[in-house]
Chain A
Amino acid sequence: MERKVTLAHGDGGELAHKLIQQIFISAFGNGHAARFDSAYLSLKSGEIAVTTDSFVVRPLFFPGGDIGKIAVSGTVNDLAVAGAIPLYLTAGFIIEEGFSLADLRKIVQSLAEEAGKAGVRVVAGDTKVVEKGGADGVYINTTGVGLQRAGSSVDPSRIEAGDDIVVSGTIGDHGIAILAARGELGLMTDLESDCASLNKMIAALIDGGCDVKMMRDPTRGGVATTLVEIAEDFGAVLEIEERTLPIRNEVKGACDILGFDPLYLANEGKVILVVSHADCPQALDILRRFPEGENTAVIGHVAGRGRGTGQLLLETPLGSKRRIHRLSGMMLPRIC
């Protein structure tokens, strides 16, 4: 077999057949479904959840993961935080001509492995090859299908003053790990991306009967953007405390040097929860049993509901409160 992806791999001929058989079908193990133009899925009755996400991460391989792993965890987490049980995935690949077949195989195997860990099946897929320069290595789109979890209490309309705001671990790890992996920082760090599928941890939380009212995964835009959205969408005043934010020293240090704010850095394996104050200790207990949740922390609370437009406030260690807004434009490194 050739060592690089060529345009012929995408034209539907012999090479395309080989590529699909040897790299994709062998990894996903759902060959029977691949004989038809569509996969048939059996679902129990109830509401289904569907989500889709495209992954264009650079570099493709980074400490703690790669584009294949993140293409599963990203979509699985979107289903899980919406209160659904993730069941099936589709995976669409857009591959740049000249891409290494060995790397492609690594990515596909990583994708399959993460799907196995998360307990979801990859049932349909697609590959396209574009001319060199037409894409940056590999782009992946995954669509996820899940089933609404029976007995889930997730319902943001029930958010009320006194509820606790919880984050399932240290923030900003993915953002800094990716920047460092690009080699542009001049920083040496062994920091790993947090990228992970959280559906099992979230299932344990819901099955444990915790009164979880809202879940979101703070990916692009970070914890700040996610909380601002919750505040605005549901007219809530949310208050978080700076000193309670779980942030690794490596992330703090990098942010200080570069002028970044960890609150706006992407996370790929974290969930933010709004949980009733009474059930919060139990939620912490359950989340901390999982390696992905061992640094779970309460970072604030809901201060009010339904008084005008929502807002997010941050209490500084000095006790003054400042309003947090969406990030304006992109985060840019400062001069000195």
Chain B
Amino acid sequence: MQTLFEPADPAVAIELAQKVIALADRCKEKFGAMPAFMEVCGSHTMALAKTGVKLILQGHVNLISGPGCPVCVTDQKQIDAMIEVAESDSRIVCTFGDMMRVPGSKRSLLSAKTEGRDVRIVYSPLDAVRIAEENPEKEVVFLGVGFETTVPVLAAAIQMAAHKNINNFSMWATTKLVQPVLRTLLSVKKVKINGFLLPGHVSIVLGEQAYRFLIDEFRMPGVISGFEPVEMLSAIYKLLKMVDEGRPEIINNYKSVVRAGGNKTAQKMMNEFFQPCDESWRGIGMISKSGLEIREKYSRFNAKEKFSIKIGEPKKTPCRCGDMICGLASPEECVLFGKACTPLHPVGPCMVSTEGSCAAHYAYMRKEG
């Protein structure tokens, strides 16, 4: 069995890494700056750090983490609201593990749990529906954060609840879409990059055609990549080649998994249960039609309508998560990194989530104790 992060053959990976470095150095000489690519997916951020690819390319290719960690891009106000949902004895709050330690303005879901609130980690939103079924006297709320990869599963949970008529189940959905944020990064935030390492997982749902606009509107190359070292190195190599030759394209380098048109069933599920909405992104602000909300037809499963949650303005911290997800700062440029902000005592979500750039840097790139 070949697993996701295992190199197909270390010798191939090492040879490929040397080719990448040679081409990167040539580009640097040719254009007078180190080539910079942004990985959009949080799993890439983690895999690049964990497999040592980022370390081996250090000084040759600048790999910048983008807004691909679903927890990291969630607005502080939304996080506060989601933690506030747990503040009731009559509710069971279910969430993915990543959300547990994300600090709200007052406290985290984990501290709410420690103080006796019923907060449960589930591996799938469908488990939350089952919990609702087993606890008819309680309101069960699933905190649904995620990108296009996760939304079809959120839709499946609503479908299951609707089908079984489980009315004590609802979802607090704060979902994000990849296309609008990439457009905003390039047009509004003006991030300085030479191309995108495009997300393998999201692309399974969207398909490679979803990124045409990068070429049409920005002449920005992108390569859809898998997660093991050879796949990531080969994607980076293809990006460098396009930069070198000045011929930007969208290349699907993950053909075994990603189809041109994506996964139609998943897209259908998303459309059936969700509709586009404006979403606020941490560090970026409101982006028009950059998220999905539960369709009105299913509003009885929409926790935002079901419960009245009042929250104040979030308190400000020197945390630079917002800059981090726009590729405008690296973890070590944040004054809090590794000192006031560690995975045990995170200040911002980039340090909490297993896909966050700060957590990846702390776990896999940190040299000192």
B247 to chain A, nearest CB (A): 28
Given contacts A333-B121, A336-B70, A336-B149, contact A318 B43 (CB under 8 A): no
Residues from chain B with Cβ under 8 Å of A321 in the complex: 52
Q: Check A336 against B367 for contact (C-beta < 8 Å).
A: no
Q: Check B10 against A336 for contact (C-beta < 8 Å).
A: no
Given contacts A256-B4, A335-B98, A336-B201, contact A317 B354 (CB under 8 A): no
Tell me whether A94 is interfacial, beta carbon within 8 Å.
no
Give the one of A186, A316, A325 with max B CB within 10 A.
A316
**Chain B: which residue is nearest A323 at the CB level?**
B367
Tell me whether A243 is interfacial, beta carbon within 8 Å.
yes
Q: Please report the C-alpha to C-alpha distance between residue A259 and residue B354 in the assembled complex, in whole angstroms.
A: 8
Q: Please report the C-alpha to C-alpha distance between residue A217 and residue B353 in the assembled complex, in whole angstroms.
A: 30
- Mark out the residues of chain A between 288 and 323 whose CB falls within 8 Å of any chain B CB in the assembled complex: 309, 311, 316-323
Q: Please report the C-alpha to C-alpha distance between residue A320 and residue B50 in the assembled complex, in whole angstroms.
A: 10
Residues from chain A with Cβ under 8 Å of B10 in the complex: 243, 317-318
**Chain B: which residue is nearest A261 at the CB level?**
B50
Q: Check A318 against B51 for contact (C-beta < 8 Å).
A: yes
Residues from chain A with Cβ under 8 Å of B355 in the complex: 259, 334-335
B124 to chain A, nearest CB (A): 6
- Mark out the residues of chain A between 257 and 292 whose CB falls within 8 Å of any chain B CB in the assembled complex: 258-259
Tell me whether A46 is interfacial, beta carbon within 8 Å.
no
Q: Check B364 against A322 for contact (C-beta < 8 Å).
A: yes
Residues from chain A with Cβ under 8 Å of B354 in the complex: 259, 332, 334
Tell me whether A128 is interfacial, beta carbon within 8 Å.
no
Tell me whether B260 is interfacial, beta carbon within 8 Å.
no
Tell me whether A150 is interfacial, beta carbon within 8 Å.
no
Tell me whether A253 is interfacial, beta carbon within 8 Å.
yes
Q: Check A319 against B127 for contact (C-beta < 8 Å).
A: no
Given contacts A184-B127, A319-B14, A333-B123, contact A328 B363 (CB under 8 A): yes
Q: Which of A317, A318, A329, A336 contacts B147 (CB 8 A)?
A: A336
Q: Please report the C-alpha to C-alpha distance between residue A321 and residue B54 in the assembled complex, in whole angstroms.
A: 11
Q: Please report the C-alpha to C-alpha distance between residue A155 and residue B50 in the assembled complex, in whole angstroms.
A: 34
B18 to chain A, nearest CB (A): 10
A190 to chain B, nearest CB (A): 14
Q: Please report the C-alpha to C-alpha distance between residue A325 and residue B121 in the assembled complex, in whole angstroms.
A: 25
Cβ proximity bits B199-215 to A, threshold 8 Å, 1 near / 0 not: 00100000000000000
Q: Check A335 against B146 for contact (C-beta < 8 Å).
A: yes
Q: Please report the C-alpha to C-alpha distance between residue A316 and residue B365 in the assembled complex, in whole angstroms.
A: 12
Residues from chain B with Cβ under 8 Å of A318 in the complex: 7, 10, 13-14, 17, 51-53, 56, 229
Given contacts A252-B3, A316-B52, A317-B229, contact A334 B98 (CB under 8 A): yes
Cβ proximity bits B133-161 to A, threshold 8 Å, 1 near / 0 not: 00000000000011101100000000000
Tell me whether B296 is interfacial, beta carbon within 8 Å.
no
Q: Which of A249, A320, A323, A333 contacts B97 (CB 8 A)?
A: A333
Further contacts, 7 of them, CB under 8 A, given A309-B369, A328-B344, A333-B123: A184-B123, A322-B364, A329-B344, A332-B121, A334-B98, A335-B96, A335-B150
Residues from chain A with Cβ under 8 Å of B122 in the complex: 184
Q: Check A252 against B121 for contact (C-beta < 8 Å).
A: no
B87 to chain A, nearest CB (A): 21
- Mark out the residues of chain A between 141 and 191 whose CB falls within 8 Å of any chain B CB in the assembled complex: 184-186
Q: Check A335 against B6 for contact (C-beta < 8 Å).
A: no
Residues from chain A with Cβ under 8 Å of B127 in the complex: 184, 186
Report the number of A-B residue pairs with Cβ-Cβ less than 8 Å.
Answer: 105
Residues from chain B with Cβ under 8 Å of A243 in the complex: 10
Tell me whether B362 is interfacial, beta carbon within 8 Å.
yes
Q: Check B7 against A317 for contact (C-beta < 8 Å).
A: yes
Sample (22) of A-B pairs whose CB atoms are under 8 Å apart: A186-B127, A252-B6, A256-B3, A256-B5, A258-B123, A259-B354, A317-B229, A319-B14, A319-B56, A322-B49, A322-B364, A323-B366, A328-B344, A332-B121, A332-B354, A333-B121, A334-B96, A334-B353, A334-B354, A335-B70, A335-B98, A335-B355
4 A-B pairs closest in CB distance: A332-B97, A328-B343, A316-B52, A320-B52
Residues from chain A with Cβ under 8 Å of B342 in the complex: 328
- Mark out the residues of chain B between 339 and 369 whose CB falls within 8 Å of any chain A CB in the assembled complex: 342-344, 353-355, 362-367, 369
Q: Check A320 against B55 for contact (C-beta < 8 Å).
A: yes
Residues from chain A with Cβ under 8 Å of B50 in the complex: 316
- Mark out the residues of chain A between 175 and 210 whose CB falls within 8 Å of any chain B CB in the assembled complex: 184-186
Q: Check A249 against B365 for contact (C-beta < 8 Å).
A: no
A257 to chain B, nearest CB (A): 8
Q: Check A322 against B365 for contact (C-beta < 8 Å).
A: yes
**Chain B: which residue is nearest A316 at the CB level?**
B52
B347 to chain A, nearest CB (A): 14
Tell me whether B91 is interfacial, beta carbon within 8 Å.
no
Tell me whether B101 is interfacial, beta carbon within 8 Å.
yes
Residues from chain A with Cβ under 8 Å of B362 in the complex: 328
Give the one of A256, A319, A332 with max B CB within 10 A.
A332
Residues from chain B with Cβ under 8 Å of A316 in the complex: 50-52, 55, 229
Q: Please report the C-alpha to C-alpha distance between residue A322 and residue B51 in the assembled complex, in whole angstroms.
A: 9
Cβ proximity bits B81-111 to A, threshold 8 Å, 1 near / 0 not: 0000000000000001110110000000000
Residues from chain A with Cβ under 8 Å of B124 in the complex: 186
